[in-house]
Amino acid sequence: MKTIFLLRHAKSDWGDVDLADFDRPLAKRGLNDAPLIGDVLINYEVVPDKILSSPAKRAKQTSELVAKACGYKRSIEWHESFYGGSSEDLLGAIRRLPDSVERVLLVGHNPIMEETAAALLTGDEVNMEDVLAIKMPTAGLVCLDAPVLDWSTLEPGDAILRWFLIPRLLKAVI
């Protein structure tokens, strides 16, 4: 059984209207929320073996803050296609993982994160409003179980939802 975590980047700062979208940093709330996700991963002993992320500034900051909070010591793999790409780009990155990786965390943007969750859970990424009720707010984390031994055999519809967390819920129970 493999585990896939899908994390939408934390809340970004829209204060500088002249800043390119790719270069937008995290807002104060995002800087606080991202480490909460890392805390969950370490407290439930599900630290990823590999982190794959969009290189956009807000996703990069989110990845780095989560990695630090959960004690992740390896390098983060930056994927240009996670910014503006498609769910097939994310699925392709997962399929190329070595089988020694048991848990992977993907950090990116909507709508790609929601589309990837829909594809993995239902096999249908086209009409998400009809197939999947999961709407990922910033720093929303979806945990999926994939009953495969080899990442290369992962197909749309193969995953099972284990849990879904959002920072607002975490703050309410802490």
What pLDDT is stored for residue 174 in this prediction? 67
What pLDDT is stored for residue 124 in this prediction? 62
Sketch out the chain's domains with CATH numbers.
2-173 (3.40.50.1240)
Q: What is the pLDDT of residues 52-93, one digit of tens each?
A: 999 999 999 999 999 999 999 999 999 999 999 999 999 999
Residue 139 DSSP class:
T
**pTM: predicted TM-score of the whole model, two decimal places:** 0.94
Helices (H), the chain: 28-43, 57-70, 87-95, 112-122, 128-131, 167-173
| Strand (E) or helix (H) holding 102 | none
Query: Strand 141-146 to strand 160-165: parallel, antiparallel, or no bridges (unpaired)?
Result: antiparallel
What pLDDT is stored for residue 132 in this prediction? 53
Long-range contacts of 112-116 (CB under 8 A, 24+ apart): 112/82, 112/85, 112/86, 112/87, 113/6, 113/7, 113/8, 113/140, 113/142, 115/86, 115/87, 116/6, 116/87, 116/90, 116/91
What pLDDT is stored for residue 19 in this prediction? 94
Asked if residue 158 has pLDDT above 90, the reply is yes
What pLDDT is stored for residue 133 in this prediction? 58
Q: What is the pLDDT of residues 131-155, one digit of tens each?
A: 455 789 999 999 999 999 999 999 9
What pLDDT is stored for residue 159 in this prediction? 96
What pLDDT is stored for residue 170 in this prediction? 80
By percentage, how much of the chain surpasses pLDDT 90?
86
Q: pLDDT-derived band of residue 128, with 50, 70 and 90 as boundaries? A: very low
Looking at 24-33, 43-52, 130-139, 161-170, which range is the least confident one?
Answer: 130-139
